Structure formats: C-alpha cells, structure tokens
Amino acid sequence: MPRTDFNNLQAFTVVARERSFTRAAAQLGVSQSALSHTIRTLEAKLGVRLLTRTTRGVSPTELGRHLLLTLAPHYAGIEAEMAAMSKTQGAPAGNVRITADQHVVDTILWPKLFPLMLDYPEIRIEISVNYGMIDIVSEQFDGGVRLGDQVAKDMIAVRLAPDMRMAVTARRSYLNSRELPKTPNDLTLHNCINLRLPTYGGLYAWEFMQHGQTFKVHVTGQFVGNTSSQLLAAVMAGIGIGYTPFALVEQEIASGELIPLLEDWWPTFPGYHFYYPSRLQSNSAIALVVDTLRLKP
C-alpha cells in the first residue's frame, strides 16, 4: 500500500473512534472538508464503505468496525512507544483516556488527578463515565476502573480502594407506613430503586451474602437509574429502598437521614482497581497516573 494511505488509515481510526468529523478534524488539525475527502479517497481505494454518515453523526459500518479493531492496537502501540520516548526527555507527558463510573470519578479520580494535572501540565487526562464492561483496547482507552472481580485476567490491575461493602437503606418517611423487611426476599414487597446496567441491558439483581454464600434478589419499583447519584437521590427523596455502596450513604446513616436495613446480609466486593494493557507499562504518563491513584498502605 502506498505510504500516503497510512495517513488515511490514521484519519479513519480517529473519525471512527470519535464518531464525529468535527471532533476528529480538531484532533488531526485539518478541516472537515479535507478530512471528508481523505475518507472518501480511502473508501474508493479499498472499494468498500467504511463509515455510515447521517445528520446525527457518523458510525462505522460492519467492515469499518472490523478495520478499526484491526488498526486500533497498532496505532495505540505506536502512541505508547512515542510516549515512552518522551520519558527520557524530561517530565512525564501525554494523553491518558480513562473509563470509570460516576462514583469512582467523584470519590477517587478527581480528588487525586486534579492536583496531578496542576503539577504536570504536559499530562492531558480524559475521563469517560461509563457503567458498561467495555473493551478498553478497541475503544481506545488507556485504562479503566472497575471492581476487582470484573477485571479481565490479561490486564494489569492496581488496587485503588479497599473492598467495597454494599448497603440497603431507606428514608424513615418511606418506612413509617410499611412493615420493615426482615429478609432480602421481603424486598419484593417494597418499592425498590433499580439500577440498569448498559452492558447487559437488564436490571441489576441485588446481591446478598449469608454464611459465606452469595444469592440474588430481583426487585421492582417506580424508579430505574443508571448512576449511583441517581439512585441516592431517589432514596433521599423517600421514593423507596436503595442498594448502594456503603461509602455513598455512610454520612446519611450516621446523621439518621437514612435507616440501614438487612445489615446482616450486606455483601462485600473486591475494591476498585485501575486496569490497563501490559503494553502501556513503559508509558510515563500512565505510570504516573497509576502511582498517583494506587491505594497506599
């Protein structure tokens, strides 16, 4: 393939990843019309349609997705090597893209990464809030944050937080006219605040533990959210019973605003971990971010 086509392939990966000619053109430092011409030239050269264009944006075709999955690791590897070279030239520098849920962003990432960015202005950090179990390699993320038992075995995982205990709580105003649940199965008789997980498309089944055994209860209720802040807001409004990380409601329980329920059944999950591919070990920006976020003794 002629050398110039490699530039076209890079342009395609950026457009397919961003799903926007506007954002891709800004990243590449070219005009939208020039970028559109580049993509049309590449499609003509290959004899296939790589992108579907609509008034709402662009998205890869099936062949385009296949090409993106093939190209992404190679370009990511080149970027990692370039970042590694910069390590020998002075202070850490480079882009770091991270995927995490909102609770992690608010409680772990921002409190530690804001000071880091002030100290290292050449490090640029992008955080995408996502509750799904996405493929960070194909989606061009440098790392992600998930619970320890959700991290793929082929990733490097670094603990960011202690094990996480879940809590079941409700406002007294909700409980006053209702019988308190005595076992997790009693929750099926209550108005419960549900969480929808994008990866599976269904409602999260509340997990409980007793005598070392874990079991699930499917609950129903008026409200379904997809972030922990939404769930907490619904519980605080007195709509029903919520299932959230204990750390999220610890202060409200201590102040008496929320009543803990079924404490003997609350489960504990492996804490949050930062995970990333082994090929990024030599990336100075990633190394500094990981060391900053790492749970210290």
Which has the closest alpha carbon to 124: 95, 98, 83, 99? 95
**Model pLDDT, residue 138:** 82
Residue stretches of the chain with pLDDT short of 70: 1-4, 55-56, 75-90, 198-201, 280-282
Give pLDDT, residue 280. 65
DSSP characters over 129-151:
E--S---TTTTT-SEEEEEGGGS
**Domain architecture of the chain: domains with CATH:** 4-60 (1.10.10.10), 75-160+271-293 (3.40.190.10), 164-269 (3.40.190.290)
The predicted model scores a pTM of 0.61
- Residue 4 has what pLDDT? 47
Could you give the CA distance from residue 7 to residue 24 in angstroms, rounded to a whole number?
13
- What pLDDT score does 1 carry? 44
Degrees, nearest 5: CA angle 140-141-145 = 155
CA distances (Å), 35 to each of 13, 70, 97, in order? 12, 21, 23
The predicted pLDDT at position 188 comes to: 95
The SS3 assignment for 269 reads strand
E strand intervals along 55-132: 57-60, 94-100, 123-129
- Looking at residue 256, the DSSP 8-state letter turns out to be T
Cα–Cα nearest to 129, from 94, 156, 97: 97
Q: Which pair of tokens denotes residue 219?
A: 């609950």
Q: What is the pLDDT of residue 77?
A: 65
